[in-house]
Amino acid sequence: MILFEKNSRFFFIGIGGSGMFPLACLLKKNGYFLGGSDQKKSPYIQKLEQLGIPVFVTHAKENIDTYDIIVYSSAISIKNPELSEAQEKKKKILHRSDILKYFVNNHPSVTVVGTHGKTTSTSLVEEALNSSPHEKSSIAIVGGTNLSSQNYSDLKNCRFFIAEADESDGSFLKYEPDITLITNIEKDHLDYFKNFDAILHHFEKHISKLKGLKILVYNNDEPSCATLARRYPGEKISFGFTKEASIHATNLEPKGKNTHFTLTTPVNSYKVTLPLLGEHNVMNALGAFSVAYALKQDLSHVCRAFEKLLGIKRRLELIYQRDNCYFYDDYAHNPGKIHACLSALRKHFPDYKLIALFEPHRFSRVRFLFDEFVQAFHHADFTFVFPVFCAGETPSQEDRTIEDLVREIKNYCHKPAEAVYNGKEDYPKVLKEMTEKSIVVSLGAGDISTIAYQIRELLICETSLFQKTP
C-alpha cells in the first residue's frame, strides 16, 4: 500500500525528537521526500543530514513553503510558527501518530505499550524477531537508539512492523496491531489522564483494537496488567518471575555487567545470559521472548541474539569506566524507572558508593508524583538534584521545588542530597563525592545527558593529569 504519492513532500516539525527521527528515516529510506526543523543541532540531526534530509536549525514559517504535508508531535506548541503557518495556508497536517498508524494498521504488527520499559522492550522484540539466520525482515520504530540494530527498513519485505506506542497523549488508541505487549501500567502523565482509572481505561481500549492474530502479551506480575488480561477474551501469553506465568524467569544471578537466568516456557527451558543490568531488563527480555514464542520463533536463536546485545542508548548506558569507577546515563524520568535503575545498580554493585544525578522533567510530573519521586532514591548514597527541565511548561505556585525534593529525600531515605544550581561551577562537587569504588548515574529526559558528558570530560581530564604526575 502507498501512504501518499511518492511526490508528496513531508515536513517534520521537531524532526530531531526521539519519536520523529525514526519515522523520518523510515520514510526517507522508502523513497519519500522530506525535510524538517528543530531548535538545535544534535547527533540525530547530523544523521538525518547524512541521509540527505535538509534540516532547518530554527523554527520559522517560511521553512514550510515548499512542503505539502506537515508532521508534528505532541511536544510541539500550537504557537509554533510552522504549525501556525500550515494552518493558515490550509496545508495537510498530520500528528506523528497518524503516520505510525498507517504502518501498524496496514502491516502485520506488534505494539509495545506501558509506563516504562517500552524502548528497551521494543528493541528486544526487534532483535528476537530478526534472530533467525534466515529471516531478518522485521522493522522497529523505537523512541531511542538500539545500539545493536542493523536497521532493517525495507517495507516491501517487512514481516512484522514493531512500534513503541506512546500512551502519554492517548495516541496509541489509533493503532490496530496483531500483537500488543504490555510492560506495566503505573501512574504517569497525569496532566493528560487526570487519574489512574483513566489510564487503565485507555490501555483496555488499546487491547480491544487488536486485529488479525489478536494476541495479548502481558506482565503477569503487574496487578493492573493481569486485571486487564482477565477481561480480554482472545489469546493471551503471560510473563513474569512466578511459575504462574506462561513464560517465566528463575535463578536470577547478577554478575558484573551481565544478568544470568533460566527461561522456562510451556515446552522448554533455556539458560540465558543478558548483557543488561537489573530485574527490570530481565522483565523486558521476558516480554520479547513471549512475543517470539507467540510467533513460533526458535528461542535458542533468540537467546544467542540476546547474548550479543550492545544495549540501548541512555538505558543504563555505560559512558565511562576507570578501574572501579563507573558512570551510567539513563533516560529514567518517572519514579518507577528511577527505582528500577538504582535498584539494578545496587544489586550489581552492592559495595559501591552510588551517586545519583537527577534532573526532574516537567513541573507537573514533580507535582503529581512528588512522594513517589522522594521514595525512588532509596538506593542512592548521595543524590544531586538539578533544576527542573520544563519541557514547555511554566511553573505555578502549586509546584514543588528542587529544595523540597532534596529536603524530603534526606528525611525519607536518611541519605545526603543536595540541590545544584550553578551548572559547570558545581560539577566538581560530583567528583568530590566519588570514592575508589563509585557508581555515578545520570537520570532524566532533558539536558542531564549533556551534563553527564560534561562531568565525564572532567573525569577524563582528572585521570589524564593524575597519570602524568611523577
Residue 466 predicted with pLDDT over 60: no
**Could you tell me the pLDDT band of residue 276, with boundaries at 50, 70 and 90?**
very high
Residue 65 predicted with pLDDT over 80: yes
| Percentage of residues in the chain having pLDDT higher than 90 | 76
Query: What does residue 183 show for φ and ψ, rounded to 5 degrees?
Result: -80, -45
Residue 217's beta-bridge partner residues? Answer: 181, 237
> Residue 230 is placed in which grid cell?
482477565
Q: What distance in Å separates the CA atoms of residue 178 and residue 110, rounded to the nearest whole number?
A: 6
Instruction: Report pLDDT for 397.
Output: 83
Query: According to the CATH classification, is domain 107-307 in 3.40.1190.10?
Result: yes
Q: What digits encode the pLDDT tens for the residues 279-304?
A: 999 999 999 999 999 999 999 999 99
Residue 2 predicted with pLDDT over 90: no
Instruction: Report pLDDT for 461.
Output: 84
Instruction: Report pLDDT for 187.
Output: 84
Instruction: Report pLDDT for 157.
Output: 80
Average pLDDT over residues 155-180: 91
> Residue 448 is placed in which grid cell?
542531564
Distances (CA, A) of 223 to 173, 185, 230, 291, 391: 22, 9, 11, 20, 31
Q: Phi-psi bin for 90: left (phi > 0), alpha (psi -120 to 50), beta?
A: left
Model pTM greater than 0.85?
Answer: yes
Average pLDDT over residues 430-441: 94
Instruction: Report pLDDT for 134.
Output: 75
Q: Which residues contact 298 (CB under 8 A, 6 or more apart)?
A: 131, 132
**Cα distance between the two ends of the chain:** 69
Q: What digits encode the pLDDT tens for the residues 356-372?
A: 999 999 999 999 999 99
Any idea which architecture 317-468 has in CATH?
Alpha-Beta Complex (3.90)
Residue 74 predicted with pLDDT over 60: yes
**Could you tell me the pLDDT band of residue 462, with boundaries at 50, 70 and 90?**
confident
Instruction: Report pLDDT for 4.
Output: 67
The pLDDT mean for the chain works out to 92
Q: What digits encode the pLDDT tens for the residues 100-154?
A: 999 999 999 999 999 989 999 999 999 999 998 777 778 888 877 777 665 656 7
Residue 469 predicted with pLDDT over 60: no
User: What are the boundaries of each domain within the chain?
Assistant: 9-95, 107-307, 317-468
Q: What digits encode the pLDDT tens for the residues 388-430?
A: 999 888 888 888 999 999 999 999 999 999 999 977 888 999 9
Average pLDDT over residues 45-57: 95
- Protein fold of 9-95: Rossmann fold (3.40.50)
**Could you tell me the pLDDT band of residue 98, with boundaries at 50, 70 and 90?**
very high
Residue 73 predicted with pLDDT over 80: yes
Strand order in the sheet with 9-13: 55-56, 33-37, 9-13, 69-72, 92-95
Assess whether the region 9-95 and the region 317-468 belong to the same CATH fold: no
Average pLDDT over residues 366-394: 94
